[in-house]
Amino acid sequence: MLKRHNKLVTLLILAFFMFSIVGSAGAAQFSDVDPAADATPAIYKLAALDILEGYPDGTFAPDNTITRAEFAKIAVVTAGLERVASGMEGVPTQFNDVAADNWASGWINVAAAQEFVQGDGDGTFRPQDEITQAEVVTVLLRILGYNDNLTGNWPSNYISKAASLGVLDDISFIANKAATRGEVALVGSEVLEQNVVEYRSSDNLFAEARKTFEDEEDPRSYSLLEDNFESAVETDQLVTDVSLDDGIAFEFNASGDLIELTETAVIANVPSWNQVKERFVDYITNDDGDIVYVSVQDYGVVTATADDIEVNRDDRDEFTINDRNYRLALNEDGDEVDVTYLGATASDLEEYFERAERPEEGVTLEDEEVNVDNVDFVLNDDGRIALIKGWTWDSGNAGVVDNVNLSRERVQYKNSDIRTTNLADEDYAVLVNGLPAELEDIQENDVVYVTDLYDVTLLVVQSAQVPGELESIRTVTDNDDVNVTEVRVDGTWYDVAINGFMLSADAGSDFYDATTDVDRIDDEYELLGEDVVLLTNPAEKVVGIISDVDATDRNFGIVDGEASVLDGNQIVEGISIFRSDDSVATYVIEDSDENLAKVYDGTTFDIKNDFIKYSINSDGELELEYNFEGTVDEWNFEAETDDNILTVKGSGNDAVDVDGADVPITDGSSYDISNTAIFNLHRDDGDLQTVDVADFLDAAESIDEALLVLDGNSIEYIVIDDGELVGTTGNIAMVVDTGRDADGDYAYLLLPQGEVKYYIDSDSDPVEEDTVITFTLKQGEIYVDDSDWDDFGSYEIKSISGNIIEVITAFDGDGDELSTQNFVVDSDTIYYDNENDPVLIEKGDIARGDIINLYREDGETAVAVVELVDADVLVKEIEIEQVTITDDELTISVDDNYEAEIEVGNIAVYASDDVGGDNLAGTSSNNDDKFFVQASGDNFTITVNGDEEADDGTYIVRVEDDVNSNEIEVEVDSNDYVTE
């Protein structure tokens, strides 16, 4: 029925947003009440009950004081006697300073008759005097049923009782201080929640009053709120649903019944009405059963991803969530689990948390393959889990906004999965970043999910965007598919949403369907190192990546050959391009590109090894702009290697510009080629490579043919064909991960631009995870040869001074420094933090006391890599604790302070005497060897070969490794074979 009221729904939502923290949808919010103030919920609670009122100008003045006359009215309303007061208005009072026509005469008459107030002994009431905190407490406790029979003298007797009841907990109490309106609200709110009492003179005590309420059989105690306001007061009720159908209504405890809120209802303690759902609340209803006041209780909500939720115990109700233990809530009898499950995955969650056969300890929700972005755990007042809700924001259901047509109430999207949401015939509501909003608040590139929450069409909109450099990615392999699970932008990791991300390669004009395919980032568009904008869902997971990858320096390359390329859902023939960053990219060829069509017919490929200029259209297809074939010329080069200067000698030959136009070169023209990209078409092994500038300059004078491509006065590209010149060498990287897929062995390398995946050349040395390597790039593959690569450590940093890092290379058994060594670093030194996940750091990030490994090339002075590690420095002095000789065996125990694992080949053990000479552990024994040495755990056993027994005399045993050693003398007595 609500279609024609859809604007009303929006207005209601906005009204509740404006006043939900502390206000009323039907009255002006108090402009001077701070939503975060302690008194705010109490102010609006008493305002909803008409105990307190604001001023005509929309203020409440919480810091203003209250007169005794004003408080007489507050007392009478609190006692539920306002109708009596209206009948006493104009009646002469018992106080000589309160005239019958005083505006407060009726209130003062009732307050005095009920003995809430007593006045002074001289017959005055002092109606305009400020009421003190002690007087406020006295009056309110008298309304509860307490009287002057409280033990002690006034006002201490009332103050003591108020303190014991807890009604003074939220104020700074000073008895004679004038009470403010905010303080009155705080104390009054607490008093309303107290049980009414009655004085029993026979026992001289105050006991809780009891009575039988309608529809109840037995008498019970009751609060002042229940007694005087004829209101149903409910506490700790769990809101399990919210409906916007014809107003706002709440469902409690999954009962299926909805209770409506009045238009003037107050919602306290949350920033918007929608955040009441799945929370515990206290609420008050009026005589019609409608809610007039809701106070959200902050018992806690824990949000976790599936991999952070695991079974902890076998007793069915305890789990580890975000590394903390939580138990499931139980029913009132404490013998059954009492948890509410919500969301599309509710049944899966219930099975995981409550099934009879529990998963083994340590099994996470992710292991059970429950498809959720995150799970909310709502805690009750005991800290137990009372409600579990799984949130699934599948990227396949998300729309990226193109435009909003307000007149037609329509939202259009850029991605092909979802094109349009028409709202003209719908009852709808809008949430932007979790807060109520209007349709006009939705902006281009916002992410929208269309849901049926709250019994209307609800647009859940996420406008948060994360700009920055896409530094690296993390992947998982599933059935040979390599899928992106996380991306890192400006140093922060972001999870990828369920079913992946939508990708725009044209600055947000168009989006491809959601995918987790790593090729979209790592191959097809080469986004690593590029500036991007991440679009996120309400769980803050990545659903979209916006990039503009049409950078000029990436639109040149060498045609490497044919390639099979994924175009939508089909595999088509395409082209692979070897680019200046040593990567190989594959593209679909634009159908109407006649220049490519002439040379590429799907069966022959005639432009292999040509240097081309190309562009990528909005569909991700390659369009050829120019082929530089035939523009190679003869040159004479001179090089200044120190300054990266290349001088071109001779005249009559032309270079070309980036558009293929001839550019005459004047004899003796010099160019700084520090930033020039240099391609080598052929080496002996037939691979394409880029060449380091320094390597090119070293060989420049022997190179007589080249293609020179200029941009203005700078040489942007040089293409040569030299079988002798080695390609780019001396690259250094940390190996983050290794693996094998259908295309071969690969490694993820941590480079300055982030984590980059490379395949490993078949002739390369092995590549191991968590190692630092030097490598050569060969046609996009890495070739590793670490034969000239030395590593040192692990060492503790003692000091850093300029370019010198002094390290402690060893400690003795007592932890005292034994030896140090200096290492030189320079501006080219790379620093890695490999204590946890490897990341690039700077020199300033390492400090004294850190443990490091160092890597240096043979013949070089400066260290190439400093790696921060989680390790210990070896103890140099090996303390030999015990030597035992039995028969023909001598056993040595090494002190546990020695950290290195004792094994043959790692630790050398020597034993010698004047007969057998030295023998090394692990060597094969023969008849000439006196001893044979074996290692086991922390012990070495030295055995006399054959049937010989150890001769009497002194034996020398030495234990050592590369930096650690110790030596002992062992006396052997053939009579008893004991150690002295």
Residue 311 covered by a domain: yes
- Greater confidence (83 vs 335) lies with 83
Element housing 474 (H / E): strand 465-478
pLDDT, tens digit, 9 for 90 and up, residues 137-146? 999 999 999 9
Q: Is pLDDT above 60 for 918?
A: no
Residue written as tokens 């393959």? 369
pLDDT of residue 105: 93
The whole-angstrom separation of Cα 448 and Cα 538 is 10
Q: Is pLDDT above 70 for 446?
A: yes
Indicate the pLDDT class of residue 955, thresholds 50, 70 and 90: very low
- Greater confidence (197 vs 285) lies with 197
pLDDT of residue 127: 95
DSSP 3-state assignment of 554?
helix
Q: Report the range out of 571-580, 620-629, 795-804, 935-944 with the highest average pLDDT.
A: 795-804
Element housing 10 (H / E): helix 6-19
At which of 351, 369, 391 does a domain end? 391
CB 529 within 8 A of CB 470: yes
Least confident among 52-61, 259-268, 624-633, 719-728: 719-728
Q: Do residues 572 and 686 both lie within one domain?
A: no
Q: Tell me the pairing of strands 481-489 and 465-478.
A: antiparallel
CB 112 within 8 A of CB 91: no
Q: Do residues 488 and 521 both lie within one domain?
A: yes
Residue 916 covered by a domain: no
CB atoms within 10 A of CB 745: 18
pLDDT, tens digit, 9 for 90 and up, residues 44-73? 888 888 899 888 888 999 999 999 999 999
Residue 937 covered by a domain: no
Indicate the pLDDT class of residue 374, thresholds 50, 70 and 90: confident
Q: What is the mean pLDDT of the chain?
A: 77
Cβ-in-10-Å burial (0-12, 13-18, 19+) of 300 comes to middle
CB 792 within 8 A of CB 854: yes
Residues listed for the chain: 980
Q: Tell me the pairing of strands 889-894 and 908-912.
A: unpaired
Segment 717-730 mean pLDDT:
70
Q: Do residues 270 and 170 both lie within one domain?
A: no
> What is the rounded radius of gyration, in angstroms, for the C-alpha atoms of the chain?
41
Kindly report the CATH number assigned to the domain that includes residue 287: 2.40.50
Segment 237-241 mean pLDDT:
90
pLDDT of residue 191: 95
Residue 29 covered by a domain: no
Q: Is pLDDT above 80 for 892?
A: no
Show the DSSP H helices in 728-773 as ranges. Answer: none
Q: Do residues 369 and 428 both lie within one domain?
A: no
CB 597 within 8 A of CB 584: no
CB 855 within 8 A of CB 867: yes
Q: Do residues 351 and 438 both lie within one domain?
A: no
Segment 237-262 mean pLDDT:
87
CB 739 within 8 A of CB 746: yes
Q: Give the whole-number percent of the chain exceeding pLDDT 70.
A: 74
CB 78 within 8 A of CB 143: yes
The whole-angstrom separation of Cα 317 and Cα 327 is 5
pLDDT of residue 140: 97
Q: Do residues 157 and 305 both lie within one domain?
A: no
Phi, psi of 62 (to 5 degrees): -65, -20
Segment 598-609 mean pLDDT:
54
Residue 906 covered by a domain: no
Residue 911 covered by a domain: no
Segment 654-681 mean pLDDT:
84
pLDDT of residue 184: 96
Indicate the pLDDT class of residue 316, thresholds 50, 70 and 90: low
Residue 495 covered by a domain: yes
Q: Is pLDDT above 90 for 159?
A: yes
DSSP 3-state assignment of 665?
coil
pLDDT of residue 272: 65
- Greater confidence (465 vs 515) lies with 465
- Which residue range is the domain that position 343 belongs to? 301-391
Q: Do residues 135 and 266 both lie within one domain?
A: no
Q: Do residues 580 and 696 both lie within one domain?
A: no
Output the CA–CA distances (angstroms, integers) from residue 641 to 693, 698, 699, in the order listed: 9, 7, 10
Residue 676 covered by a domain: yes
CB 471 within 8 A of CB 491: yes
Q: Do residues 615 and 649 both lie within one domain?
A: no
The whole-angstrom separation of Cα 469 and Cα 490 is 6
Q: Do residues 242 and 267 both lie within one domain?
A: yes
At which of 362, 391, 420 does a domain end? 391
pLDDT of residue 726: 54
Segment 478-500 mean pLDDT:
83
Q: Do residues 452 and 473 both lie within one domain?
A: no
Q: Is pLDDT above 80 for 387?
A: yes
**Sign of the C-alpha dihedral computed for residues 584, 585, 588 and 591 taken in this order:** negative
pLDDT of residue 894: 44
Q: Do residues 100 and 244 both lie within one domain?
A: no
At which of 277, 296, 315 does a domain end? 296
Domain count, the chain: 8
Least confident among 515-519, 597-601, 794-798, 862-866: 597-601
pLDDT of residue 313: 56
